[in-house]
Amino acid sequence: MTASKRIFLVLLGPPGSGKGTQARRLQEHLGIPQVSTGDLFRCNVKAETPLGVLAKRYMDKGELVPDKVTIRMVAQRLQEEDCANGAILDGFPRNLIQASALDELLAADGGVALVVWFNASDEEVMNRITGRRVCRSCGQVYHMMFNPPQQEGVCDVDGGELYLRADDQPETVKNRLYVYYKQSSPLVGYYYAKGLLAEVDGSQSPDAVTEAFLTLLKSHGYL
């Protein structure tokens, strides 16, 4: 990775495919932060900001938050100091409008460097999402079976309470999967056509996915 160029990676994949888990692991290797639009919205919901109040209406139904506010939020986030060398975009873009807005935002940096597509079956992601538990205070993510905390219901990192996200209930997840196939999956073709798409088998164990991801980054010269 050259010192002067900012590197922007996009993680694409259905809800529950492991984007957040891998983004958190990869930020140490790459020295650039994870920027998760879902996390940013959840922080705003928790703080009851006007953005949070608006976003919650859509999140609770498993719908996308309107593009205009989402794009503005990401544009502001990418101007922050910790993004000086780039970022790992987790959950953005999620449709073609957001993808072309991102192209414009990153025009001076040569655009998106690489898009990693996490492929996993509906059954697998459904199992993962319904078992996902998140720390109320620090946002650390667990899974009741695949990645349980040491003590049930308690975060290993800061002792916070673990909760099931409101939008991780099976009925809402079904709609989120529908929204993914309808609005987000066209991005696979969009980035493929640009020669930026790389696929990782997201159904493997977390360590195997990380290994595949690192190999990919090395082969593209980012590590």
Which residue, 18 or 86, is less far from ligand ADP as judged by CB?
18
58 is a site residue for ligand ADP (CB under 6 A): yes
Q: Dihedral (C-alpha) 82, 88, 94, 98: value to the nearest 10 degrees?
A: 50
6 catalytic residue (yes or no)? no
Please identify which of the residues 165, 174, 182, 194 carries the catalytic annotation. 165
Q: Which of 16, 86, 101, 198 binds ligand ADP (CB under 6 A)?
A: 16
34 is a site residue for ligand ADP (CB under 6 A): no
Which residue, 88 or 217, is less far from ligand ADP as judged by CB?
88
Number of residues binding to ligand ADP, judged by CB under 6 A: 35
139 is a site residue for ligand ADP (CB under 6 A): no
121 is a site residue for ligand ADP (CB under 6 A): no
Segment interacting with ligand ADP (CB under 6 A) among 19-27, 76-84, 155-163, 185-193: 19-27
- The residues in 162-221 that bind ligand ADP, with binding defined as CB under 6 A, are 167, 176, 205-206, 209
6 is a site residue for ligand ADP (CB under 6 A): no
Provide the minimum distance between the beta carbon of 63 and ligand ADP in the complex, in angstroms, as a whole number: 6
Q: Which of 20, 113, 117, 213 binds ligand ADP (CB under 6 A)?
A: 20
Which residue, 14 or 86, is less far from ligand ADP as judged by CB?
14
Residues 6+ apart with CB under 8 A from 183: 64, 94, 95
DSSP 8-class letter at 138 = T
Active site (catalytic) residues: 19, 94, 132, 165, 176
